Structure 1
Amino acid sequence: MNRICQVAASFGLGMVLAGMPFPAISQPSELIVQVGAEEFYETGLIQLERREYNNAIVSFDQAIQLNPVYAEAYLQRGIAYSRLGNPEGAILSYNQAIRINPVYAEAYYYRGVAYSQIEDRASALADFDQAIQLNPAYPQAYVQRGVVLAGLGRTEEAVTNFDRAIELDSRNGEAYLNRCAAYYTLGYRQAALEDCNQAVRYQPNSAVAHYQRGFVQSALGNGRSAMSDFNQAIQLQPNYPEALLGRGIIRFAYGDSTGAIADLDQAIQLNRDYAEAYKVRGDMYLRRGNFAQAIPNYDRAITLRPAYDTAYQGRAEARSALGDVDGAEQDYSEAILLNPGNIDAWIGRGQARTSLGDNRSALEDFTQVIQADPRNADAYFYRGQLYAELGDNDNAMLDLQQAGSLYLQQGRTNEYRSVVRQMNLVQYGFALWD
């Protein structure tokens, strides 16, 4: 008997050891499994960082095969699926991570992101709530919950979440960027600009941050600053159709219609289903007097977005200019049906109906505009002319006087002169269209 056995026997351990399993035999294999799973997991993380998403999924699969309760591997596999554009596959992986670890805040967060990708906002909101409950100091969870709330129209609640994210991380560019959008929606444009400035400060290489600031600058009338931001966004991300659209609009406003249309052409080349780009390009052709070129752009915009009321309105203007007044009247009617608050469509239809000799219906359209917008000088002017055409000079003069007063208040001197000329004609017992 060797020395070790002798010692064991002296302590009466011989029978005990003989009747016990030998954990020392199984421990090395378990350790090998753990090390192997960890190696595959680390490899997957490297592949994920390199954007080799399919390879990363294979590595995480191998880690999970060796260690079926590896919650982190399920989480990272879900992230890889999500980045491949497969949020449904991602959700299945996150479900497994949560099953293994029910208090895994990151798994709830990323599952919430995946639910957002498939527009299941109720499930996304529940997951972000749970992530925050598990980790109240989780800034990105507040950001994403704010995004969901904004999408649900709960914009003020969204701002509260972005505020909290910024309190937790004062350099969180994404939080500033989303709060900028929320402030803009609420009508706080200057506050929106300040937040966009912060977003650009902390994310200087973010094309989206520059684009969004350009959008706000444009709304504030800061055309040159908007142009600079759109240029920067395009420099950072050349295939950015929204930034090309924004720059095109600014170029057109500054008289560079050729450059503007070139930007719209490029935006459409990048995204053949970009309804807004077709509509805006149609508007540009319309303003240039290229009515026949405008119509196919409006056609395409309407095909892509059948409820696009301003595209119907633009096509109506182009049709009217080409002499198709019946077609124009139909398009204006469709625009009004889609959006009864589209004042310009009501005025356009009133003018079209006047041209078609349907004066009573035209009168109703102009009256509708005045009821909705009592300071709409054009509606008073057109209705005044129509009253004169119908021989109702008293009402004609009342409307023309009101139109003239509003035009003066609005600084529209050319239109005011037209009113004066029309009033002189009415006083002599006949009216002419200006």
Structure 2
Amino acid sequence: MFKKVTQSIVNEMDPRGDLVPVHSILDHEHFRPLCLVRRKRKALFRPSPGYKQTWYRLDDVLLPGEDDKSTDSLFPNGGGQDSRQFTVKKSISDRVDGSLSLCVEPISVELKGATSLSKGWSIKLEKNHIPVPKLEALKTERKINVNHSFIQQLQKTDQNLYIVHETVETSEETTFEEFTTAEGSFMTHLYAKFHAKGTRENKQSMTIPKSCTVAFRAIQLAITDRSWGLQYFPEEHRSVFVSDGSSQGKLGALKVEVKENCQILSSLSSDLFVIFLKAIKAVMRDRNLFQELTQKMEAVLDETGSCELKTESPDLKDLLSSLQYSSRQLLLKLAGAITYTLDALDELTEDQLLLLLESLEEKIVSQQLKLVESILEHDIEHGKGHFSVDASLLSFSQEKEQKLTIAMVEMSGVKLQKDGSAVCMEKAFSAVAALYASLYVLDLLSNSD
């Protein structure tokens, strides 16, 4: 819920800028001004750069200055304060009436009912900004501690470091509520799995404390010897595709990216296919397991030596145990593939994850993958537009599988009709690309026979 709120705030405040939402309320303190962060690996399905915490602030890796001056004066509450307050509001109220006929062996069932959704919130925010000239002045007063273990590890692994210089924080405690009521047995995100009658209610609430970081901006640090500076124009890798009015180039680039990151999974034994798929399905159901596996895989990729992999979760135990006894070279490749998969799944909505799990049970992931690939062959990057896909890709053995697939694709911004006609409701390439990458891995792991 926190992720949805912060993403919504960024979309309202800076839809085309470089403001980055904080995804977890547990991590917000690690994205305050002067916190050091690292950028996540790039991916075509991630529209904006992602960052991960380092547990360090700039002051932790600098040598003392001649006058032992602290960096506290740079913070927004110190000298040179540059802050603004504003309010963001959002309100949604919707009701959907409908019916759904299903053929569930050995009987046919007709589901009828209505679903209503209401949520609204108002949040007071404060933008805090450390003037870049103050950071520029600091670099002449304080040198970098090249003997710091963190700095040495960064140099060994050739990783870039960034510093948070602007944040958007809550100026008062705020409570959010989301309330969903389903009358009868009609629930859009459960489809064929929900056959009970009556009324179903779901209420979610969350309290965000005062001074909680919801979004931030970061700038890259350039470290050479004992000196450091700000990299205003970091070198970016040139795009591997050319925009020519079609999406063929991007689809080709996406295929290359997915295969490069996940090809190692195809070499697994049948037993390991089962173990890997079990773990991926578990994290799709449980956000806590998702975060645990993400952190462990990032630890593997960041470590220069061996990394001990242990867990209390029975759902992850077999996977981590199999990784623990892999060679270092194989471990790095597998951890990279798992991390890439988790990054793709993290771009999907919770409802999409549920529908993906149901697709696995119905054994329709392979056909869904072909469908999504056919969508990406069209130019869906540049806003709204009508196009068509092969209608046979929407032909399933059961109607519920077709409805499930159409709903899952629509959640990525592409509305499909049974005849194959489609319309892009928004700039949907990134969202559809994340769905493609997720389906690719699930299809690979579920076809172990």
Bucket of the pairwise TM-score, normalised by the shorter protein: under 0.3
Q: TM-score under structure 1 normalisation?
A: 0.24
Higher Cα Rg: structure 1 or 2? Answer: 1
| Structure with the larger helix share | 1
| Structure with the larger strand share | 2
Higher relative contact order, structure no. (Cα contacts within 8 Å, ≥ 6 residues apart): 2
